[in-house]
Amino acid sequence: MEIKSEELLPPERICLELTAEKKEDAIKEMTGLLAGSGKLLDKQAFLKCLFEREELETTGIGDGVALPHGRTDAVGELLLAFARSKNGIDYDALDDKPVHLFFMIAAPLSDSTKVLKLLAKVSRLLHNAKFRQALLKAETKDQIIELIKQQRQ
């Protein structure tokens, strides 16, 4: 079964401009996108999972990108959210540069295969500098979704 990231990313889980200025606040704001969809079973438990993951190793992978993710029983199904920050956020990224693009992945504990495939897919997409630039320039949520769809072709 192929994971179609655009099907996992409805407009209500896209934020074109984070208000957060700090890493912790960015994670909380993005978790709010997931919670707003009604698919997150326990927001606080998921936040705890994310912060524990960040303590192990940053999910700021470099090139202005962060992939905060977690697996927990606080999530009933695989979820994806996208956000960006025009000014960038100090996220303790591997390259010490501010993060502008965020993809958050939430997955149930029982679902290790799908989450790993999605992480790999999103990572591959974000290694493409033209794709990152297009995400930064997109003006609407629909444009973000269309950019992701185009990557499948």
- Residues whose CB falls within 8 Å of the CB of residue 45, separated by 6 or more in sequence, listed in order: 72, 73, 74
Please tell me what DSSP assigns to residue 11.
Answer: G
127 has catalytic annotation: no
Angstrom distances, CA of residue 14 to CA of 77, 107, 141: 18, 18, 6
Of the listed 69, 71, 84, 100, which one is catalytic?
Answer: 69
- Residues noted as catalytic: 69
